[in-house]
Chains A and B, each alone.
Chain A
Amino acid sequence: MPLRRSPIRWLFAAAAVVLLAACAAHPQWQLDDVQGHLPDLEFGMTNDLGQPVTASTYRGKVVLLYFGYTNCPDVCPLTLVHLHTVLQKMGKAADDVRVLFVTVDPVRDTVPVLHQYVTAFDPRIVGLTGTQDAIAQLAKRYRAFYKPETPKDKAGDYDVTHSSAIYVFDRDGHARLLATPGSSNDEILHDLDILVGQS
Chain B
Amino acid sequence: MSFVLHKRLCATACACLLAITAVGAAPSAPANIRVEHAWIRWLPANLPAAGYATIINDGDGVQRLTGARSADYASAMLHHSRLAQGDSTMEMVDHLDIPAHGSVKLAPGGYHLMLSHATHPVKPGDKVPVTLRFADGTTLQVNFSVLPANAAPSG
> Which residues of A approach B to under 8 Å, CB–CB?
70-78, 80-81, 84-85, 112-113, 116-117, 120-122, 145, 149, 152-153, 155, 157, 159, 161-165, 180-182
Contacts and interface: CB of A to CB of B under 8 A. Distances in A.
Nearest to B51: A73
B17 interface: no
Given A120-B149, A122-B150, A164-B83, A77 B44 contact: no
B83 A77 contact: no
Contacts of A75: 81, 83, 88, 90, 108-109
Given A73-B49, A117-B47, A157-B116, A145 B87 contact: yes
A165 B88 CA distance: 9
B45 A77 contact: no
A74 B83 contact: no
Contacts of A162: 87-88
B149 A121 contact: yes
B48 A71 contact: yes
Given A122-B150, A157-B48, A73 B86 contact: no
B137 interface: no
A74 B90 contact: yes
A73 B47 contact: yes
Contacts of B108: 74-75, 77-78, 81
B45 A74 contact: no
Given A75-B88, A85-B152, A162-B87, A117 B45 contact: yes
B151 interface: yes
Contacts of B151: 81
Contacts of A72: 88, 90
B44 A117 contact: yes
A165 B49 CA distance: 22
B43 interface: yes
A163 B83 contact: no
Nearest to A69: B47
Interface string B117-155: 100000000000000000000000000000011111000
